[in-house]
Amino acid sequence: MPSKFLIALAVACVLSVPLPAVAESAGPPALTGAPQRPPLPPRRPDGGGALTLPGALQRALAANPRIRAADRDIGIAGGRRQQAGAFPNPELSFELDNAFGTREYRGLRSAETTLQLSQLIELGGKRDARVAAGSAEVEAAYWERAAVRLEILSDTAVAFFGVLAAQRRIVIYDTHIAALERLTPLLQRRVDAGASSPAEIARAQLAADLVRADRERARASLAIARLELATLMGASTANYAYVVGDIGRVGRPPPFQIVLRSIDSNPQLIRFTAIRAQRDAELLLERLKPIPDLRAGVAWRHFRDTNDNAVRLGVSIPIPVWDQNLGNVAAARESRAKVEAELASSRATLLLTLGRAHENLTGAARELEILRSSALPNARRAVEEMETGYSQGRFSLLELLDVQSSAAQAALRELEALLTYHTSLATIEGLTGMPLRMASERSR
């Protein structure tokens, strides 16, 4: 395996370790709650239990079919390289002359029998050029596998945080529903005392039913996210009960120039080095093809009419007059030039994806800073004051329901920002191979 590939694999392996976040920030307010385990069964009859991010990454690398397909591509390239180094097989031929004619050539009485062994001898280094092209193809396949491995790690991390966010979204809805249900006894007492209309009970029930409807939609989204994660891990069903992790922990995003310097270490770009070498070898091979190959042979001849034997030696070589392989040389030259264009295109695409992910990362970090420093604490205080004031008759039910809804929306807004943050971070790690989370953990 090429040494560069070993380095890339070592970088990629870092992504499979536990990934704590950059720098711990203040926890969310009471309305959102600390990261909680969703109300799911702790263990399923088939043995599925809690799934962590490192466990998901390991299972994805072990069972994802894309990894197996990439391994087969390496095997295919290795077989082609082995075949490229094979020598041409010798040829054995038999000839019968002066037989089955008339008069003295009737039957086999004057037959001449020739048994010949010939061998094609390639000249000009064609075999070495084929082997070089095959070796470069194997190296390109190894780099492609490294790129697939990074993509699987990144996709699995994104899917994992999607499930984690979907679980927490249900917890937020449950918290909101519980807050609305706590109003029912208080509303009933106010109605019994004549301080409120019976319609307020129906209004509170309507608000709770709408949140329950949103919760059911969130449950469907959770089921889809669980299936997506299971598919990345090579399973057809979600064979785990729930995922566990601290989605609320974030930190300061790294500067864009730092991650930009690591883009050239992406295996998708390094792979073009091997592809370039392969195209060079193929171009050289096409240029060498017009060089004539030598065919030498030795034959044993038997003359039946005199019962004599003789040895015949033969050498043949084609004359490259009409076909000098100019068309294939031109095609190989264009194929070699196309590599540079494909490299530039792939690098531009990676840079665009990296730029988008970094902008989303920094934007989510700024959004979380605003939400956690002001919006969420204010929402928590507003809910507490409204609930206390409503029990004292200072606020209306409509005002209380509105502030509870606003607090729940703020908690969901924080969750969406957290999901964007971790998804963008996983995307950057997949593009650059930089273990941003682990490096930040060592700095704490």
Band of residue 251 on the pLDDT scale cut at 50, 70, 90? confident
Examine the pLDDT at 216 and tell me if it is beyond 90.
yes
Mean predicted lDDT score pLDDT of the chain: 84
Task: Summarize the confidence of residues 73-86 as an average pLDDT.
Answer: 95
Residue 413: what pLDDT? 95
pLDDT computed for residue 196 by the predictor: 66
- Taking alpha carbons only, the member of 62, 60, 1 closest to residue 430 is 60
Q: Does position 107 have pLDDT exceeding 80, yes or no?
A: no
Q: How confident is the model at residue 224 (pLDDT cuts 50, 70, 90)?
A: very high
Whether the pLDDT of residue 369 is over 70: the answer is yes
Q: In the predicted model, is pLDDT for residue 33 greater than 70?
A: no
**Measured CA distances, 367 to 404, 420, 423 (Å):** 21, 10, 15
pLDDT at residue 283 tops 90: yes
Residue-level pLDDT at 5: 37
Tell me the average pLDDT across 90-100: 88
Cα separations (Å) of 300 from 96, 105, 264, 297?
A: 12, 21, 63, 10
Distance, CA of 312 to CA of 97 (rounded, Å) = 14
- How large a percentage of the chain has pLDDT more than 90? 60
pLDDT at 437: 54
pLDDT of residue 8: 39
- What's the total number of domains in the chain? 1
| Confidence check: pLDDT of 346 > 80 | yes
pLDDT at 275 over 90: yes
Q: Over 50: is that where the pLDDT of 27 sits?
A: no
Helix or strand holding residue 112 (H, E): strand 112-121
25: pLDDT strictly greater than 60: no
The parent domain of residue 138 ranges over 3-443
Interval 2-13: pLDDT, tens: 443 333 333 333
Nearest alpha-carbon partner for 305 in 98, 443, 444, 157 = 98
With a cut of 90, say whether residue 147 has pLDDT above it: yes
- Identify the residue with better confidence: 115 or 302: 115
Q: What is residue 325's three-state secondary structure?
A: coil
32/376 Cα distance (integer angstroms): 8
pLDDT tier at 200, thresholds 50, 70, 90: confident
Q: What is the mean pLDDT of residues 143-168?
A: 95
Tell me, what CATH number does 292's domain have? 1.20.1600.10
DSSP string, 217-259: HHHHHHHHHHHHHHHHTT-SS--SSEE---TT---PPPPHHHH
Q: How many other C-beta atoms lie within 10 A of the C-beta of residue 315?
A: 10
Beta carbons within 10 angstroms of residue 344's beta carbon: 11
Q: How confident is the model at residue 43 (pLDDT cuts 50, 70, 90)?
A: very low
Task: Give the pLDDT mean for 201-225.
Answer: 93
Residues counted in the chain: 444
Specify the pLDDT at position 391.
76
In tens, the pLDDT along 53-64 reads 999 999 999 999
Position 48 confidence tier, pLDDT thresholds 50, 70, 90: low
Residue 8 gets the label, from left (phi > 0), alpha (psi -120 to 50) or beta, of alpha
DSSP-derived letter for residue 265 is G
Q: How confident is the model at residue 390 (pLDDT cuts 50, 70, 90)?
A: confident
Report, as an integer, the average pLDDT of 196-215: 87
Alpha helices in 85-198 (DSSP H): 126-181, 183-192
Instruction: Work out the average pLDDT over 107-118.
Output: 86
Report the alpha-carbon distance of residue 12 to residue 149 in Å, rounded.
7
pLDDT over 80 (residue 188): no
Q: Would you state the pLDDT for residue 261?
A: 87
Tell the residue number behind the tokens 């979380």, with chain if given: 368
- Residue in 243, 315, 292, 324 with CA at minimum distance from that of residue 124: 292
- Helices and strands (H, E) in the chain, number of each type: 12, 6
Give me the pLDDT at residue 395, please. 80
* Greater model confidence, 441 or 296: 296
pLDDT higher than threshold 90 for residue 412 = yes
Instruction: Identify which of 68, 88, 85 has the alpha carbon closest to the alpha carbon of residue 137.
Output: 85
